[in-house]
Amino acid sequence: MHYMILIYEDESVYGDKNDTPEMQAIVAKHWDLVSDLGDQYKTGAGLAMTSSATTVRTVNGKQTIHDGPFAETREQLGGYYVIEADNLDDAIAVARRVPVRFDGSIEIRPLLHPPGK
């Protein structure tokens, strides 16, 4: 089964740019995890800061475009992994290894596959 592991942190701990020493250090830890996971790792990526986000919001069938993320929160979605695991317990074991700089949360969700896949 494939699981998506979503990484939520307060992006302000990394500064305003993606190339700070703090960001470089955490990215190195992520590459180490990817290497350790081997074939279990399917894909993943970090995300640019929320200041670069654009949201398409639909209300009552009408769409509007907004700068920024969908909601203002203390933690922002900063990246994700897609892994293959035999069960939720195995996915949790991987999620516990995902590096976060200070506080944060890791969400694990099974991926739905189209019928016949």
56 token code pair = 């398409």
- Taking only the tens place, the pLDDT of each residue in 33-87 is 999 999 999 999 999 888 888 888 899 999 999 887 666 677 888 999 999 999 9
- Taking only the tens place, the pLDDT of each residue in 84-96 is 999 999 999 999 9
Instruction: State yes or no: pLDDT of 17 exceeds 80.
Output: no
115 falls within a domain: no
> Structure pTM?
0.85
Counting the structural domains of the chain, the total is 1
**Quick one: pLDDT at residue 115?**
73
Find the radius of gyration of the CA atoms of the chain.
16
65 falls within a domain: yes
3 state SS of 33: helix
Range of the structural domain that residue 20 is part of: 2-110
117 falls within a domain: no
User: What CATH number did the domain enclosing 76 receive?
Assistant: 3.30.70.1060
116 falls within a domain: no
17 falls within a domain: yes
Burial of 83 (0-12, 13-18, 19+ CB in 10 A): buried
Instruction: State yes or no: pLDDT of 24 exceeds 80.
Output: yes
